[in-house]
Amino acid sequence: MALPKLDIPTFTLELPSTQEEIKYRPFLVKEQKTLMILQESENKKDIMDGMISLVDGCTFGVLNVAQMPVFDFEYIFLKIRCKSVGETAELNVLCPDDEQTRVPVTINLDEIDVQVNEKHTNTIDISDKIKMVLRWPVVKDSLSLNYESSDNIVNHVMELTQKCVTEITDGDKIYNRSEMTESELNEFIDMLPPEVFEKIGDYFETMPKLVHVMNVKNPNTNKENEIIIQGLENFFG
């Protein structure tokens, strides 16, 4: 005997990067079970693979999830989670005034949005003539990062830079990424002066991201603290 089919609700959202409207649905039980297993995993690549599969399923397979900007991916996941589990999350935030006290807070996930820094630019000035153009990191870039060196911020920035370079210009001459070998590009990046490397770091730091700002009172010092929560991992631990 055939069992009745369930009507699964669908919702719409706008991708932050393009304002394109897409449809999505909540998690199903099988996907909820997958998430619970992922929460116990310490393998970051396995976690990303599972989240990509989940987002792909909940958006009906119409998106190239691996090639979308990371902040689009995080925004979609956040919206799916809101419709599936609830619009609030419980966190223990660290008060920066003493860097010891943690305070439990409840945040409304539906109020969180992708914020764009007005100073963000994808063109890095290396000299008066030479410039480097970067794209936003996509989900695929996160999958191929060397997680064994994840504690080394410099290595992370170096890896992301190599993946995100789209062109290098020298006056009127343009070198497209497709024309460079990996060794040529790595050598070029290795020879950059420290001040340029700082500009590259600023590029990744100021790119669009999920951000939520809140004020929390430290019960031990009675001081008000401004807490900035950003990035999907920090919203869900």
User: Which residues constitute the domain of residue 72?
Assistant: 8-86
Residue 97 is assigned to a structural domain of this protein? no
Q: How many helices (H) and strands (E) does the chain have?
A: 8, 11
- Contacts (Cβ under 8 Å, ≥6 apart) of 12: 21, 22, 23, 24
Residue 156 is assigned to a structural domain of this protein? yes
Q: Are 65 and 53 in contact (CB under 8 A)?
A: no
Residue 199 CA to residue 188 CA, distance in Å, equals: 15
- Dump pLDDT digits (tens) for 130-146: 999 999 999 998 776 65
Residue 232 is assigned to a structural domain of this protein? no
135 and 64 inside one domain: no
Residue 56 is assigned to a structural domain of this protein? yes
73 and 146 inside one domain: no
**How open is the CA angle 102-107-113, to the nearest 5 degrees?**
125
Tell me which residues of the chain have a pLDDT lower than 50: 149-150
Q: In this predicted structure, what is the pLDDT of residue 7? A: 81
Calculate the dihedral angle through the C-alpha atoms of 118, 119, 121, 124, rounding to the nearest 10 degrees: 180
Q: How many CB atoms lie within 10 A of CB 38?
A: 16
- Dump pLDDT digits (tens) for 74-123: 999 999 999 998 888 888 999 999 999 999 999 888 888 899 898 899 99
77 and 144 inside one domain: no
Q: In this predicted structure, what is the pLDDT of residue 230? A: 85
Residue 226 is assigned to a structural domain of this protein? no
Domain final position from 36, 59, 86? 86
Q: In this predicted structure, what is the pLDDT of residue 49? A: 86
How many domains does one find in the chain? 2
Q: In this predicted structure, what is the pLDDT of residue 236? A: 61
Residue 234 is assigned to a structural domain of this protein? no
Residue 128 is assigned to a structural domain of this protein? yes
16 and 80 inside one domain: yes
Q: In this predicted structure, what is the pLDDT of residue 71? A: 95
Domain final position from 60, 86, 112? 86
Residue 18 is assigned to a structural domain of this protein? yes
For residue 113, the surrounding DSSP H or E stretch is strand 113-115
72 and 130 inside one domain: no
